[in-house]
Amino acid sequence: MNTTVSEAPVSTWQARRWPQEREARIPAWIYSDPLLFQREMEVFHHGPTWNFVGLECEVPAAGAYKRSWVGTKSVLMVRDEEGGIQVLENRCAHRGAPICWENKGVVKDFTCPYHHWNYDLCGNLQGLPFLRGAMGKGGMPRDFRKDQHGLRRLRVATRRGLVWATFGDATPDLESYMGEEILALLDRTLGSGRLRLLGYNRQLLPCNWKLYLENSRDPYHATLLHSFFLTFGLLRTDTAFRAVPTLGGRHAIMASTYSAATAGTQNEVTKQLASLKTDFVLQDMDVVKPVDEFGDSSMINFSVLPSVFFQQHGNSLAIRHIIPKSESSTELSWTHYGFAEDDPAMHERRIKQANLMGPAGYVAVDDSEVLAQMQPVAESAPDSVQVVEMGGRDVAAQETMVTEALIRGFYAYYREKMGL
Amino acid sequence: MSRQDSGADAPTRAQLRDFYDDYALALDDGDLDRWTTFFTDDCLYRVVSRENFQEGLPLCTMECRGIAMVRDRVAALRETTVFEPRTLRRMVSCLRVNEGGQGASSQANFALYESMSDRETHLLLVGRYLDRVVRQGGELKFRERVCVYDNYRIRTSLVYPV
């Protein structure tokens, strides 16, 4: 058969079939295919979804900017002259060079380092060198219109101090995209919206972004892998728990009840767990003693498709930004925050309890280590399938930690959007 | 802090060099119990990104306030953390002793190499130690050790102290 060099590479994923058990199985080939990864970026991150970009307090005054990511695209979150927030693609409209090479800063306007095309804070092209040429030679055509060559502007929505952006023209408004349940949790977790930035933790995970997303929707592993959680009663299988997929599995909620009474004690359930170490005590217990700041004795963690996980572990509040880099590499960027009205004790508590999370976290190290182990196995066995049947085969909400309903929910949604 | 710390009793450069090497060797040997003995009871131990440090943001990647948290870091690592076996090795260079101020402050560069059980070695972390070393009962101790790493991101995990 004749083939030409111009022929597009054969995509393997389009020839694949999802196992007949539907979302109760996950085929390993979805973690290792670069063409599937490109399609995922089009469908989710660069498509009609709302992506977390940053906190409003990170760009306090006109000209303040922060570099962030929407999927694999670099974007700039910037405060404009009118006090609004713009999110601009960090790509010069001329030749595609990134116009901004720093993570944060304050500018009057943006100038691309390559040919000095200059843009205002809203991304409008203000000028370019030699528009009319030099010494009567060169220059742009007479009909070149600057107003048609600005930076790509994303649609922006803000709510309670958070900034969201979308590349999609057809993306529904933020409220509809989130849905009632997630909106209520956003409002709970972000309180007054007067957020205080505590800092960042960043790590590069050698795994597909979906492995992290699944991990953040998997309460089943939490009390098994993370014996630190269990030992100190921060999260246990014998406390009230709700696992709720929302909007057909687009988002997911994990709500647990914290009980000081059950911390470090055993019962029939915990006796089954070999990893419960009742003789392990901390010398400084503050790190595992949360204050009930939301007044509902609950720890509620939730995952918002496609790119963000809201963490409430004790008083350690963070937004985990899941930034896909390739089919086998994912940046995990943690933005820890508190509130402007936090007293010094609460501020200290948040910093102290942050020891549980991040690349060196008492709890979080377990996850990054396990996921790093999983990726090469998935790549070596693309035809293998994972079994996801804990708590049944459907995607209904459940009142137990011992369930994989949230992972199934995600894949029900994923398959629909990807046509798989 | 008394004037003695910054005066006649202040550690010499040679003493500091030995102290820094001892610290690195203890950790490279995996002797975490010995690691805890390098700190004063009221110590501050932090591992923080240059990004947070330069912006004055309080969040650390590891933070131990006081010796109890230093010991807890070791206990949690031994008792509950799940991780792939690895060997770390620290290269410490360019020691600088800063004069003046309250107590002796010193700094040095570090490079931390990580060797996994079945793969080649890679460079895990590069940065500098910013320290306050005091003499206590004839021995040098860190009252403060702030490990500021230059890396934008940490490669997978930071399991052991820096």
- Flag if B154 and A202 touch (Cβ within 8 Å): yes
Structure tokens at A5: 């060099």
- Flag if B153 and A275 touch (Cβ within 8 Å): no
Neighbours of A311 (CB within 10 A): 22
Chain A CB contacts of B147 below 8 Å? none
C-alpha distance from residue A237 to each of A269, A348, B38, B68, B80 (Å): 7, 29, 39, 29, 17
Q: Is the peptide bond before A60 cis (omega within 30 degrees of 0)?
A: no
- Flag if B156 and A231 touch (Cβ within 8 Å): no
B22-48 pLDDT, tens digit per residue, is 999 999 999 999 999 999 999 999 999
Q: Identify the CA nearest to A93 among candidates A157, A15, A149.
A: A149
A111-139 pLDDT, tens digit per residue, is 999 999 999 999 999 999 999 999 999 99
- Flag if A351 and B82 touch (Cβ within 8 Å): no
Nearest to A360 among B61, B65, B80 (CB): B61
- Flag if B80 and A369 touch (Cβ within 8 Å): no
Lowest mean pLDDT among A90-104, A344-358, B59-73, B93-107: B93-107
| A344 interfacial to chain B (CB closer than 8 Å) | no
Beta bridge partners of A300: A255
- The sheet with strand A155-159 has its strands ordered as A51-55, A162-166, A155-159
Q: Identify the CA nearest to A58 among candidates A121, A122, A106.
A: A106
- Flag if B84 and A362 touch (Cβ within 8 Å): no
Task: Answer yes or no: is pLDDT of B1 > 80.
Answer: no
- Flag if B72 and A282 touch (Cβ within 8 Å): yes
- Residue ranges of E strands in chain B: 39-49, 62-65, 86-98, 105-116, 122-136, 139-149, 154-155
ipTM value, please give it. Answer: 0.93
For residue A258, the one-letter residue type is Y
| CA–CA min distance A313, chain B (Å) | 15
A134-191 pLDDT, tens digit per residue, is 999 999 999 999 999 999 999 999 999 999 999 999 999 999 999 999 999 999 999 9
> At B69, which helix (H) or strand (E)?
helix B67-79
Per-residue confidence (pLDDT) for residue A14, from 0 to 100: 82
Chain B CB contacts of A197 below 8 Å? 57
Per-residue confidence (pLDDT) for residue B5, from 0 to 100: 44
- Which domains occur in chain B, in start order? 3-149 (3.10.450.50)
Buried b (16+ CB within 10 A) or exposed e, B75-95: bbbebbbbbeeeebebebeeb
Chain A CB contacts of B75 below 8 Å? 280, 282
Per-residue confidence (pLDDT) for residue A223, from 0 to 100: 78
Alpha-carbon Rg for chain B, nearest whole angstrom, is 16
- Flag if B49 and A352 touch (Cβ within 8 Å): no
Give the integer Cα–Cα distance in Å for A324 and A305: 13
Nearest to A199 among B58, B62, B159 (CB): B58
**Which distant-in-sequence residues (6+ apart) come within 8 Å of B83 by Cβ?**
A365, A366, A369, B157, B159
Per-residue confidence (pLDDT) for residue B3, from 0 to 100: 41
Give rounded-to-5 percent helix, strand, coil for chain A: 30, 25, 45
| A260 interfacial to chain B (CB closer than 8 Å) | no
Give the integer Cα–Cα distance in Å for A18 and B81: 35
Give the integer Cα–Cα distance in Å for A208 and A31: 6
Pairing of strands A316-326, A308-313: antiparallel
| Closest CA in chain A for residue B72 | A282
For residue A413, name the pLDDT band (cuts at 50, 70, 90).
very high
- Flag if B82 and A370 touch (Cβ within 8 Å): yes
- Flag if A204 and B154 touch (Cβ within 8 Å): yes
- Count CA atoms closer than 13 A to A124's CA, side-chain side: 8
Nearest to A199 among B57, B76, B152 (CB): B57
Q: Identify the CA nearest to B45 among candidates B151, B133, B135, B156.
A: B133
CB A98, CB A92: distance < 8 Å? yes
A277-302 pLDDT, tens digit per residue, is 556 778 888 888 889 999 998 999 99
Task: Answer yes or no: is pLDDT of A5 > 90.
Answer: no
| A354 interfacial to chain B (CB closer than 8 Å) | yes
| Closest CA in chain B for residue A231 | B80
- Which domains occur in chain A, in start order? 60-158 (2.102.10.10), 179-418 (3.90.380.10)
Give the SS3 label for residue A159. strand
Give the integer Cα–Cα distance in Å for B33 and B40: 14
Window 134-193 of A, Cβ < 8 Å to B: none
Q: Is B48 exposed, middle or buried (CB count within 10 Å of its CB: 0-12, 13-18, 19+)?
A: buried
| A57 interfacial to chain B (CB closer than 8 Å) | no
A37-82 pLDDT, tens digit per residue, is 999 999 999 999 999 999 999 999 999 999 999 999 999 999 999 9
Look over chain A and give the mean of its residue pLDDT values, rounded to a whole number.
92
- Flag if B59 and A354 touch (Cβ within 8 Å): yes
**Which distant-in-sequence residues (6+ apart) come within 8 Å of B91 by Cβ?**
B24, B110, B111, B112, B113
Nearest to A203 among B66, B68, B154 (CB): B154
| CA–CA min distance A381, chain B (Å) | 19
Per-residue confidence (pLDDT) for residue B6, from 0 to 100: 43
Q: Identify the CA nearest to A228 among candidates A271, A272, A268, A263.
A: A263
Per-residue confidence (pLDDT) for residue A281, from 0 to 100: 78
Give the integer Cα–Cα distance in Å for A351 and A144: 53
pTM: predicted TM-score of the whole model, two decimal places: 0.93
| Closest CA in chain A for residue B61 | A360
CB A51, CB A62: distance < 8 Å? no
Give the integer Cα–Cα distance in Å for B33 and B56: 31
> At B68, which helix (H) or strand (E)?
helix B67-79
- Where helices occur in A216-326 by DSSP H, the ranges are 219-225, 227-231, 268-271
Give the whole-number percent of chain B exceeding pLDDT 90: 84
Chain B CB contacts of A205 below 8 Å? 156
> At A338, which helix (H) or strand (E)?
strand A329-339
Chain A CB contacts of B59 below 8 Å? 198-201, 336, 351, 354
For residue A146, the one-letter residue type is K
Is the Cα dihedral A203, A243, A252, A410 positive or negative? Answer: positive
Residue A53: phi and psi, rounded to 5, are -115, -45
Window 361-390 of A, Cβ < 8 Å to B: 362, 365-366, 368-370, 372-373
DSSP secondary structure letters along A233-248: TSS-TTS-EEEEEEGG
Per-residue confidence (pLDDT) for residue B9, from 0 to 100: 74
| CA–CA min distance A375, chain B (Å) | 12
Q: Identify the CA nearest to A308 among candidates A45, A76, A43, A79.
A: A45
**Which distant-in-sequence residues (6+ apart) come within 8 Å of A13 by Cβ?**
A29, A30, A33, A35, A36, A39, A420
